[in-house]
Amino acid sequence: MQFTNNQYQEALRYVEGMFSLGGLSECGKTSAGYKLQDMGARRSKIIHIEREMMLERGFDLSNGMKDEHFVALYKDNQEEAFREFLYRLILHMKEEGYTFASIESLYRAELGAFMKRELKDKMANIYIDAPIEARASRELVKVNKKAQETGEREMTLQEMVAKVKKKDEFKKEHNADKVKDIADFIVDNSEGITREQFLAQIEQIAHNMGL
């Protein structure tokens, strides 16, 4: 995608507020994204924009998006790729009439830091922190409810913890936990936090950003 620096700067000025949502598996990123959407932010998945960028570059994604695709996307000039990512995101916001947006799931701390540098106080990197037991327990409730409806075997907590750990390992390999180091806000979603309390933290951050 070709665009001038003037077009890019104009796009940055268009944004009123941007939120990134990071954290390990089943921490609450999706729930937070829907909350921000309900408040008036465009809900976006980072991987969808990366897919657009890959397809325009002619990547063969017929068997899905693989690690090598992400490496190829960012290897030559990561900064330019980040600029294109942000520009594409803002174009989507403009097309749909949004001046606020949230993006899930932030696995590249460098992207969060870049967007903070470009958008300054209009950018909030949010990391959702929750221990594995809390994340596994919440996911277990959802999975077993579906299993009851379909008549499938229900999972045990031990099985769910093992499943979430495996997903965490993959994310940590891609430095998803490093997002905590660049976060503007760390939101607590541990065992004792209710859904309402968790979403109230997200809502307060959004209010402080003018949403």
* pLDDT for the residue 175: 79
CB contact at 8 A, 127 and 183: yes
SS3 66: coil
pTM of the model: 0.91
Question: Beta strands of the chain (E only): which ranges?
Answer: 17-22, 42-45, 100-104, 123-129, 185-188
Fold of the CATH domain 5-208? Rossmann fold (3.40.50)
* Average pLDDT of the chain, as a whole number: 95
- pLDDT tens, position by position, 45-63: 999 999 999 999 999 999 9
Rounded Cα distance, 133 and 26, in Å: 11
- pLDDT tens, position by position, 125-167: 999 999 999 999 989 999 999 999 999 999 999 999 999 999 8
